[in-house]
């Protein structure tokens, strides 16, 4: 015959076991998610670098991205280049065996009549760039875009642009490598995991 005290102890024990199972399940889900997203950050798929697009969009900051975008233009990918930038940003330009820095603002001014469109998004975030590009795509009747960013940003940027630019616009994402150190990669992996949760919320409520 069981006593109230023994019944209570049994219920407590059962509850503890259930909570332990739930905790393990949550930890497992978080670990799987972290590994999946980290893999996307470190090894994002490279987009098409030889096809045709209506425009090439280079996302800010431009330090490593603008060079890749201009290479696509020079290789005959398309004539229209769209650059997202903020005042004071610089880009690295490889010339032969040397690398020089150029002002993105100066580059925009010098090439304004050569198919280059520059803009500063009203919101300093990837989703702000996506909204600005969506407006341009609507104005220019663009059906497909090649978006250029760096490798560590590619997974999240591709997701945001696909969600926010519109179903009628195909997004091809090309990433440039920035030669990051192990420490920098660790920092980016942690940051991108947190930022992707923000992106999930933003795209679900604003796009």
List pLDDT tens digits, range 28-83: 667 677 777 788 899 999 998 887 899 999 999 888 899 999 999 988 767 799 99
CB neighbours (10 Å) of residue 150? 20
Segment 123-143 shows an average pLDDT of: 95
pLDDT at 33: 75
Q: For domain 55-206, is the CATH number 1.20.1160? A: no
Residue 20 to residue 111: CA distance in whole angstroms: 62
DSSP string, 39-92: HHHHSPPP--SSS--SEEEEPSP-TTHHHHHHHHHHTTS-S-EEEE--TT-EEE
pTM for the model stands at: 0.83
Give the span between the Cα atoms of 149 and 156, in whole angstroms.
Answer: 10
Rounded Cα distance, 98 and 164, in Å: 38
Query: What are the pLDDT digits (tens) for 86-108?
Result: 988 888 776 656 677 889 999 99
CA-CA distance, 5 to 112, in Å (whole number)? 82
What does the CA dihedral 90, 153, 159, 186 come to, rounded to 10 degrees? -160
Classify residue 99 by burial, with Cβ atoms within 10 Å: 0-12, 13-18, 19+.
exposed
* Domain range summary for the chain, segments of one domain joined by +: 55-206
Task: Please report, for residues 27, 45, 104, 120, the alpha-carbon distance to residue 92 in angstroms, rounded to integers and kept in the order given.
Answer: 42, 24, 10, 19
* Rg of the chain taking only CA atoms, in angstroms: 23
**Which three-class secondary structure state does DSSP give residue 142?**
coil
Could you tell me which residues are beta bridge partners of residue 103?
90
- pLDDT score of 7 more than 90: no
81-84/116-119 β-pairing: parallel
């Amino acid at each position: 015959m069981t006593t109230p005290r023994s019944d209570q102890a049994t219920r407590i024990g059962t509850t503890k076991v259930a909570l332990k199972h739930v905790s393990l399940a949550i930890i497992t889900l978080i670990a799987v998610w972290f590994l999946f997203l980290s893999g996307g950050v470190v090894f994002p798929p490279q987009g098409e670098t030889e096809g045709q697009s209506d425009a090439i969009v280079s996302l800010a900051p431009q330090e490593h991205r603008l060079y890749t975008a201009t290479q696509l233009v020079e290789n005959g990918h398309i004539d229209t280049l769209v650059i997202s930038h903020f005042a004071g940003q610089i880009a690295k330009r490889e010339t032969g065996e040397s690398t020089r820095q150029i002002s993105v603002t100066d580059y925009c001014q010098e090439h304004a009549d050569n198919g280059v469109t520059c803009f500063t998004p009203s919101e300093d975030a990837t989703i702000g760039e996506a909204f600005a590009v969506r407006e341009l795509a609507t104005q220019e009747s663009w059906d497909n875009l090649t978006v250029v960013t760096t490798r560590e940003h590619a997974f999240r940027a591709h997701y945001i642009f696909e969600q926010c630019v519109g179903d009628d616009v195909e997004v091809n994402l090309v990433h440039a490598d920035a030669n990051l150190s192990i420490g920098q990669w660790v920092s980016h992996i942690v940051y991108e995991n947190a930022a992707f949760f923000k992106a999930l919320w933003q795209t679900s409520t604003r796009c």
